[in-house]
Amino acid sequence: MICAGIDGGSRAIKIVLIDGESQQILASGTRDQGVNHDELATELFEKLLRSISADRDEVKRIIATGYTRNRIHLADTTVTEITCHAIGVRRQVPDAMTIIEIGGQDSKLLRLEPNGAVRDFAMNDRCAAGTGRFLEVVAARLDTPLHTLGKLAARSQRPASISSTCVVFAESEIIGLLSSGTPREDIVAGVQAAIAQRMAAMAGRELGEPIVFTGGVALVPGMPEAMENVLGRKVKVAPEPQMTGALGAAVLAARQCVGAACSGR
């Protein structure tokens, strides 16, 4: 029995296939998001099935989550990303108590109960200045690949102060810093600190540990360190942090099939 989780993110589609009984990961993959969300998800899903020599009728349940979840008709049902990220992170880090998730277009902070249930959460989906989109804008403005931002930030001697809370105004601020001769490494370090500070403001004082950092931005070199510096706490990056939503959806699909009529789709 195979179960699947599909995370239709704003920047990428992620899919995880698991064994419905053992909940072991059978295959996983990601591809860039586009206009045809349903078609792209279906193509990736079928590619992953081929990679494990499985047929569609072996998949007993599919749950979609994420930004475009309601556009993915392949799924049997949808579940919010808050629930799926909590389940996915706990699958990887069983004692996680706080989750920081930063994706392409939004950011979230989840506080968990000892049993893994979501106690409460805060979410920013209105401003890109605290998300991966901000880092993409900065990389483009500085004419440097996204994956090199961490190396630049590590060379910073005096991180720039980025005060704007809107990505449009922040970009103008960066242009001003460049024109005044501020080194690129100081700008990058300042941007990473600004993103971390926005998360810290969202978190407040109460942060249970372990704190787990997930979402695509957790893969950007320098961001975990920036988060630790601002929070003053150790931050653990989830294994394959961009996949936690899809993993959680797959695990939830398997749980729903246990003892249920999941003999076919």
Contacts with 63 (C-beta within 8 Å, 6 or more apart), sequence order: 3, 4, 5, 6, 75, 76, 77, 78, 79, 84, 249, 250, 252, 253, 256
Same domain, 45 and 134: no
Q: For the chain, what is the domain count?
A: 2
Q: What is the pTM of this model?
A: 0.89
Q: What is the pLDDT of residues 167-212, one digit of tens each?
A: 667 778 888 998 899 999 999 999 888 888 888 888 877 789 999 9
Same domain, 225 and 246: no
Q: Which CATH number fits the domain that encloses residue 221? A: 3.30.420.40
Q: What is the pLDDT of residues 225-243, one digit of tens each?
A: 999 999 999 999 999 999 9
Same domain, 213 and 253: no
Same domain, 169 and 46: no
Domain that includes residue 175, residue range: 95-237
Same domain, 26 and 151: no
